[in-house]
Amino acid sequence: MKRISKRKNNFKKSLLIYTGVLGVLAIVFLIYIFVTLVSYENHQINNFLKNTIHDLSDDELISYLEDNNLSDDLLDTYKKITKSDDFVYKKVDDDTYDIYLNDRLIFTISSKVVDTKTKLGLFSYQIREVENITPNLARGLFYYDVIIPSNWQVLVGGEVVNNPNSEENFANLDFMYYNNSMPKLVTYEINDLNSEKEITFKDFLGNDVNVDENNFVYQNKDYFIHVDTLDEAKEYIDINFDIMNIAHNWHLFLTRDLKGSWYGLNIVTEAMIEGTSMYDLAYNWAHGVDITFTSRHTLGNPIWPEERLENFVIYDLDAFSCEVYLEKDMIVAGKHQSDIMHDTLYFIKDNEGEWKLINIKAIEDDPNE
């Protein structure tokens, strides 16, 4: 009996030792798998790039700031940026990546593959080392672009910004730039801010307005005030002349129905600026041969059985356009026929502050309407 009991004890001891060894081996194996997985994850390109940025030292960050003429007082802010976990990585080529945070380019990192590892027969990954880190600090840590009319104001943190970086005429409105009555489209580059700022805008009337923002660029497709009627337009600007009378005169002038020398040229040009393309158009029509081929006719009564003045666009206190629709009743060979004028008329103030017709553009009617 004693011999059997001794054997049992020896077996238990052996089993415990064997179990312990297996346990230790299992722990070692699990640790090896864990380390392998961590190493595999850390060497994935996104994690490699993130860790590279996270590991930048204060001295390195200060050198980036100083190299771009920025104060090292920004170190804490810069460090906070580099510790973010929200970077977005965009591939430039196999070894180069642009790193963005909140849509701003923060760094460009170039690296190279120095080794390839395969662990457990399953996990294969590249070992990279950094070749170059280029910070994007030419415009500072925080910056914006603003594209607005020259008669608007942009405020950054409540402070008005002056001196735009560039300006250009509004597309398809070159004829409006006879003088300074018409605003231009200007661009402000707002650089070297020490934090995100509230950007607000006021139009030429001093009203707060919304401007669309995309990727730190503020701009709209349309910056102008649109209203339907003359009365509504007068709520914004001083229109102190008879627009419809100018349209009537032009419509009559085109069909030799306006009284006066040279078919009423002096009447229509009273509303124009000498030397502009609109003035030259009227002059050439009155002195050309085409006007003499206008068909013989009389005018109906009323002359304009239908007329509309609508769709005002206000560019500034001294510039606007509107849509004119006129149906002129002409009796040709005893039959009534309509001569339709459907145009956009553009007005600015001249150098004496008087409203003048600067251009007329035909409106193409939608054939489906």
Please check whether residue 293 lies inside any domain of the structure: yes
Sign of the CA dihedral with 80 first, then 83, 88, and 94 last: positive
Please report whether residue 74 resides in a domain. Answer: yes
**Cα Rg for the chain, rounded, in angstroms?**
38
358 close to 178: Cβ distance less than 8 angstroms: yes
Hunting for tokens 């419809």 — which residue is that? 244
pTM: 0.76
Q: What is the CATH number of the domain that holds 322?
A: 3.10.450
- Could you say which of 135, 160, 182 is where a domain stops? 135
Which pLDDT band holds residue 226 (cuts at 50, 70, 90)? very high
**Domain identity same for 261 and 349:** yes
Q: Are residues 207 and 176 in the same domain?
A: yes
Mean pLDDT of the chain: 86
Q: How many CA atoms lie within 13 A of 164 on its CB side?
A: 18
- Region 91-99: mean pLDDT is 91
Six-digit token pair at 174? 């070159």
Q: Domain range holding 208?
A: 142-223
| Residue 174 and residue 129 share a domain | no
Place of tokens 């309509």: 338
Domain final residue pick, 164, 192, 223: 223
Residues 172 and 112 in one domain: no
Q: State whether 52 and 85 are in the same domain.
A: yes
When divided into structural domains, the chain yields a total of 3
High-pLDDT (> 90) share of the chain, %: 62
Co-location of 105 and 197 in the same domain: no
Q: Is 71 helix (H, G, I), strand (E, B) or coil?
A: coil
- Copy the structure tokens of residue 114: 């120095």
Comparison of pLDDT for 276 and 264, the residue scoring more: 276
Eight-state DSSP code of residue 259:
-
Clarify whether residues 107 and 210 are in a common domain. Answer: no
Which has more pLDDT, 286 or 345?
345
Strands 142-149 and 217-218: parallel
SS3 percent helix, strand, coil of the chain, rounded to 5, is 30, 35, 35
- Rounded distance, CA 324 to CA 306, Å? 11
Please check whether residues 308 and 209 belong to one and the same domain: no
- List, in sequence order, the alpha helices (H) in the chain: 2-42, 45-54, 58-67, 75-82, 230-233, 243-254, 265-269, 277-287
Window from 125-129, 274-278, 300-304, 336-340 with minimum mean pLDDT: 125-129
At 31, the pLDDT band (50, 70, 90 cuts) reads low
Same domain, 303 and 186: no
- Cα torsion at 301, 304, 305, 310 (round to 10°)? -160
Domain assignment present for 369:
no
Quote the crossing angle between the two packed helices 243-254 and 277-287, to the nearest 10°. 40
Does residue 368 fall inside a structural domain? no
Residues 307 and 331 in one domain: yes
Tokens of 298: 């009389």
- Give the tens place of pLDDT for each residue, 160-182: 999 999 999 999 999 999 999 99
Q: Which of 223, 253, 283 is the last residue of a domain?
A: 223
